[in-house]
Structure formats: structure tokens, C-alpha cells
Structure 1
């Protein structure tokens, strides 16, 4: 299925016919038919925006169209009344939160996140093994793979003691990124640096020295902090 076929099916699903759809959005039927025949990419952006608005989708969704489950959901969703569309939206948001380890409370002001232990901003910690602990969290929760709590002040002012931070899993890090790392079998949050002096894990608080990365120390990267 291409974009134009998908677009036509959405129009027919919501309005019965392409002609009815064109009348509803006040674009000439010949213009809409031309877009379906000649291709979306050849159409004026103004017309595409109006068509997408009439179908309840975004131009980005249309231009990035693929024959996917999302397209099938959209085709059904446009046929629902507004109340049922709100139910679909709420369910989708719940699924997204569960995927990102977020549990929303009824007031929508506080969430709980799954925290996998603590990482040191000082002398080293050990991440939890097994079941994480659910911890209350206020604020926006970014897309992440796991969360940890900071212990210590070596990463102030960016990361404060007892702050929850969110992490995307990766085994590699770019220069200057904040990483969660196992250094000699203890877990840290530090800034990864690579320059003419070699590689090291750096504390932002100058009271603490760097952790040198060389053959004498064991290092594993768990992930990078999502800011």
C-alpha cells in the first residue's frame, strides 16, 4: 500500500467517498483526485495540511507513511466518534507510560518510576539485581530504559544527591556524555572524557579526582544519561 491508497482509504472510511470528503474540507474534488492520482509529494503543502487536518492525522505521519500497524490503527480510529477516539488516546498513552516504566496517578502530577538501585557521585555503589523499587517522581519522564538514584555530590551542580536520573542502555559513549559505568565493580555516574591525556571518568565537583581508564582498571558502560 502506498501513501495515496492509504489516504484514499482514510477518506472513504471517515466520509464514505472522496467527493464527500472534499466537500467537507472545502477543497475541489478535482484537486483531491489529482493529489491521489499524481502523488502526495507533488501536491501543495497547503492542500496536504488541510487534508490531514480533515482526517485527524499530521503531515509527518503521512510523509513518513509505511505499511505498518500504525496505519491500520489510524484507518480504524478516524471512523470512531470523538469520545471513543479519546478512549483510544488514553489507552495509547497508558501503553507508552508502561513501556517507559511510568505509572501515572489520578492527579497526573506524580508518577512512579522503576529505580534499579543507586549510582555513586562519590565512592561507588552497586546496582540492584532483580526486582526494581518503585519510587515517586514529580516532573516529566523522558524516554528511557532504566532509572537510578544519585548518591553523593561529585556531580553537582548538574546532578544532585538523591536525584533520580534516567538512562538509555548502550555499551558505548561519546566524548562529553554523562554515563552510568561499572568501574572496578562499582557503579558510578560520571562524565566520559577522551583527549590527548587518554580516557577517564570525570567528576564535575572538583573535590573529586578523575577515574583513569587504562589496563589496570575494569570498565563497563551500562548507558548514557537522558537529559
Structure 2
């Protein structure tokens, strides 16, 4: 059976879709309600199922605020995530700090160990081994805290291959947050059988998953179904990508 970590995919109710979309958006309930033009209490009624239908006057604003397709939000049909969510958020330039040794690490900087990920035989959990030859990655503690990441749940790996280009070039350094839950549309590290992959996972309404490569010209979607004999393990979600131009 596929490990969907408690997500109910078949026959999702409006309340379940709203809860999943809010979690994906990573916005506060007050912020979302403000963008829609309703009260936080009204949004709570959507989450609890007391509101059975979203008014047409609110549907498109809600979908835009949550970053999902209006049709999926209203009916559960089609893909969840909406493309072209607008221009990227502009952030100010920050200086690059070169770290030559552990003594150079600032107080707010977290050293993230580099791992190798291996799929174990049979249905056992994937094995994470510290790559003693690789250099650790680093991130700011404030960034990890804002996103709800604990230092002990972060690890780094190096991308191998071109299946996720241009998003993730070969040799890019990835920071992964260890978790077994799926965030539809996001890039995850997964293991199936004796193979491990970095793929974008897309939840389907029939209970299946699509493991998609961003390099779709050269790689086909891999469909993962609940009845597949090989167990799928979710190692974690890729939360940061860095590479040299």
C-alpha cells in the first residue's frame, strides 16, 4: 500500500479540501480570510464542514488566496494546484558568507549534515547514512524556525541526473525536511522498491500519485497506485535548492 500519511484522497469533502489547501498555502487563517473578504470565523465554518458550498462570489478569491484551482476547491475534480501564481516575491540581496571551518559559523547558522539515501530491500524504511566525504550544508536558524523546521529533521543531499532540470540541475545541493506526509505539487525524496528518486508528487483524486519530473520532455510521469506491490516511502520534502551558475 502507498504510504499517504493519513491523507484521504478519494471523495474528499469541501472541508478536507479547504484544510489541505490551507496547509499547502502556509498562510494564517486570518491572512487567508482577509484576502477572500470574509471573517476568520466564516473560514472556520468551511474547515468544520458547516458550510457545504463556497459562494460563487468568494470562490475565485479563495482559490487565488490558497493557490489552488477553483474547480478543485469547489468540486474536488482536476488537479489541485493552480499554475502561474503570479510574479515571484522580490527579496533584498544578502551578502554571501564563506564558511571555511566550524569556527566561522555564526550563532544563528545551522550546520546540516549531508546524507546518502539508500532504499532497503523489501518493505523496510529507507536508510539515511551520513556522507562522511561530503561537506555539510548550512541555513539560518531564523529561516528554519519561520518554516517550522527542526534542525534534527533537516539533511542535505546532492542531486544526481537531469530529470528535475531546470528546477534542480545535476549536482545541486538540496536541503530536505524529513517527513512522511505529502504536499501535492512539491518536490519530495521518495523510495520505491530498491530505487530512490527526487520527484514532484501530485495527488490524484482516484487515490494514486503522479511522480513527475520537471524535465518532462525526456522523462514520463510515474504513476504510483495503492495496489502496487512495492511500498512507497516518503523520505522528506525538498525545501531548498542551491547550485552554481
| Same-fold status (TM-score > 0.5) | no
Higher relative contact order (CA 8 A, sep 6+): 2
TM-score of the pair, normalised by structure 2: 0.40
**Larger CA Rg, structure 1 vs 2:** 1
Q: Which structure has more helix as a fraction of its residues?
A: 1
Superposition TM-score, scaled by structure 1 size? 0.43
